[in-house]
Structure 1
Amino acid sequence: MWKKTAIAAMAAFLLTACSSDNEAADNNDNMADNNTEQTDQNQDKSDEGTEAQFHHPLTGAGSDEESQQRAVAVVVNNHPKARPQSGLDHADIVYEVLAEGNVTRFIALFQSEQPETVGPVRSARDYFIELAEGYDSFFVAHGYSPEAKDLLTSGSVDNINGMEYDGSLFKRADFRKAPHNSYISFENIEKGAEKVGAEMDTPPEPLKFIQSAEAEGEEAASVKLSYYENPSYSPVYEYDQAEGKYTRVSDGEVLEDYDTGNPVLLDNIFIVEAPHAVVDDAGRRDIDLTSGGNAYLLQKGKLLKIKWENQDGRIVPAGDAGLLPGKTWINIIPDNPGLEEFITVQ
Structure 2
Amino acid sequence: MKKMKNAGRWLVYGLLIFALAACSVPGPSGKNENQSGEKKKAVNKIDPLTGLTTGGAEHPVLMVMLNNHRNARPQTGLDRADIVVEILAEGEITRFAAFYHSQTGGKVGPVRSVRNYYLDLAEGADAVVAHAGGAKDALARIEQENIPGLDGIHEDARYFSRVSFRKPPHNLYTDLERLYEAVREQGYQSLPVKKAYQFSKTAETGQRESAGRIDLDYHPLYKAGYEYDSASKSYIRYTEGVRQVDRETKQPLSMQNVLVVFAKHQIVDSVGHRTVAVKASGRGYLFQQGKALSIEWRYRDGWIIPFAGGKEVPMLPGKTWVNVLPETGRVSFQ
TM category, shorter: 0.7 to 0.9
The match for 1:324 is 316
User: What amino acid maps onto 1:264 in structure 2?
Assistant: L
Structure 1 moving runs of 4+ over 4 Å: 213-216
Per-residue CA deviation, residues 53-79 of structure 1 (Å, 9 max, x unaligned), is: 52111000123x324121100000001
The match for 2:332 is 344
Change over 3 Å in CA distance of 1:136–1:281 after alignment to 2: same
The match for 1:226 is 217
The match for 1:135 is 125
User: What amino acid maps onto 2:298 in structure 1?
Assistant: E
For 2:53 and 2:180, locate their aligned partners in 1 and report how far apart those are by CA, in whole Å.
Answer: 25
Question: How does 1:121-270 map onto structure 2 within 5 Å?
Answer: 121-165=111-155, 168-199=158-189, 202-212=192-202, 216=206, 217-230=208-221, 233-270=222-259
Gaps of 5+ in 1: 1-51
Q: Secondary structure at the match of 2:286?
A: strand
Tell whether 2:286 aligns with 1:297.
Answer: yes
Per residue, is there more strand in 1 or in 2?
2
Aligned residues: 288
Tell whether 2:32 aligns with 1:56.
Answer: no
For 1:265 and 1:309, locate their aligned partners in 2 and report how far apart those are by CA, in whole Å.
Answer: 25
Per-residue CA deviation, residues 199-225 of structure 1 (Å, 9 max, x unaligned), is: 257433352112316765110111110
The match for 2:19 is none
For 1:299 and 1:343, locate their aligned partners in 2 and report how far apart those are by CA, in whole Å.
Answer: 15
Question: How does 1:112-127 map onto structure 2 within 5 Å?
Answer: 112-127=102-117
Q: CA deviation at 1:111?
A: 0.4
Per residue, is there more helix in 1 or in 2?
1
Residues 309-318 or 172-181, more deviating: 309-318
The one of 93, 96, 102 equivalent to 2:92 is: 102
For 1:213 and 1:151, locate their aligned partners in 2 and report how far apart those are by CA, in whole Å.
Answer: 39
Change over 3 Å in CA distance of 1:167–1:147 after alignment to 2: closer
Q: Secondary structure at the match of 1:271?
A: strand
Change over 3 Å in CA distance of 1:331–1:206 after alignment to 2: closer
For 2:80 and 2:253, locate their aligned partners in 1 and report how far apart those are by CA, in whole Å.
Answer: 8
User: What amino acid maps onto 1:314 in structure 2?
Assistant: W
Q: Is the 1:68–1:201 Cα contact (8 Å) retained in structure 2?
A: no
Residues 212-221 or 83-92, more deviating: 212-221
Q: CA deviation at 1:345?
A: 1.4
Change over 3 Å in CA distance of 1:288–1:160 after alignment to 2: same
For 1:327 and 1:215, locate their aligned partners in 2 and report how far apart those are by CA, in whole Å.
Answer: 20
User: What amino acid maps onto 2:96 in structure 1?
Assistant: F
Per-residue CA deviation, residues 301-321 of structure 1 (Å, 9 max, x unaligned), is: 011111001122321012332
For 1:172 and 1:156, locate their aligned partners in 2 and report how far apart those are by CA, in whole Å.
Answer: 27
For 1:167 and 1:67, locate their aligned partners in 2 and report how far apart those are by CA, in whole Å.
Answer: 26
Q: Is the 1:87–1:115 Cα contact (8 Å) retained in structure 2?
A: no
Per-residue CA deviation, residues 180-207 of structure 1 (Å, 9 max, x unaligned), is: 0000112221232244322257433352
For 1:177 and 1:215, locate their aligned partners in 2 and report how far apart those are by CA, in whole Å.
Answer: 48
For 1:253 and 1:114, locate their aligned partners in 2 and report how far apart those are by CA, in whole Å.
Answer: 28
Greater gyration radius: 1
For 2:61 and 2:172, locate their aligned partners in 1 and report how far apart those are by CA, in whole Å.
Answer: 21
Gaps of 5+ in 2: 1-42
The match for 2:299 is 310
Q: Is the 1:68–1:202 Cα contact (8 Å) retained in structure 2?
A: no
For 1:234 and 1:215, locate their aligned partners in 2 and report how far apart those are by CA, in whole Å.
Answer: 29
Residues 243-252 or 138-147, more deviating: 243-252
For 2:196 and 2:326, locate their aligned partners in 1 and report how far apart those are by CA, in whole Å.
Answer: 28
Q: CA deviation at 1:344?
A: 2.1
Q: Secondary structure at the match of 1:286?
A: strand
Q: CA deviation at 1:237?
A: 0.3
